[in-house]
Amino acid sequence: MGFMDFLNKLVPIELFRGMAVTGGYFFRHKETVQYPEKRVEPMDRFRGMFGYDLDRCIDCSLCAKACPIDIIYIRDHVDVNPETKKKKKVIDRYDIDVKRCMFCGLCELACPTEPRSIWLTTKTYEASTYERNDGLYFDKERLSDWRGVKAFPGVKTPAAGQDPADPLGKKPKPPAAAAATEE
């Protein structure tokens, strides 16, 4: 046995090395928070609960066509104005079977309206349920009023006017948009 081997046996150097690594992490900034009293704000690009705006939606079905697993169901009918004879599509059903969703965001990318009528960047993720078939199947009303979903603190529901590009309403608005919001 050499001198260094003897010294290693006498003094547990590896133990001290391990403790130095542990000590280094002990004094670093902690990422753990006391959930649910505190919550970490998701990144802007985080895809979570869906937002849907029926008033903006033009019923083009591009979102349903873009969905690779066909979980967006749209049904409509055409109303004819008896006076003007103008035709208008009316959405009867806009459902998403969220329990099967893989949050790829292709539906949001396909939506041509500005702001988008379907979006997932809502910073909201608390939609857990004990019964997933009904609880995670969202019709157009629930996609808008978020019944059964706990919005991230500070985030409005889509029905209350959530901005898809700024769900927390923190970003500075261009002067024209800010004036329109105040009116």
**φ, ψ for residue 52 (rounded to 5)?**
-145, 135
Q: Binding to ligand SF4 by residue 143, rule CB under 6 A?
A: no
User: Which positions from 103 through 132 interact with ligand SF4, judged by CB under 6 A?
Assistant: 103-107, 110-111, 113, 117-118
Q: Binding to ligand SF4 by residue 61, rule CB under 6 A?
A: yes
For ligand SF4, the closer of residues 111 and 151 by Cβ is 111
The Cα–Cα gap between 75 and 5 comes to: 78
Question: Binding mask 5-44 vs ligand SF4 (x if CB under 6 A, - otherwise)?
Answer: ----------------------------------------
Q: DSSP 3-state assignment of 176?
A: helix
For the chain, report the end-to-end CA distance as a whole number of angstroms: 86
CB 144 within 8 A of CB 52: yes
Among 48, 49, 51, 101, binds ligand SF4 (CB under 6 A): 101
Structure tokens at 36: 């649910």
Segment holding 20, helix H or strand E = helix 13-26
Residues that bind ligand SF4 (CB under 6 A): 57-63, 66-67, 69, 71-72, 96, 101-107, 110-111, 113, 117-118
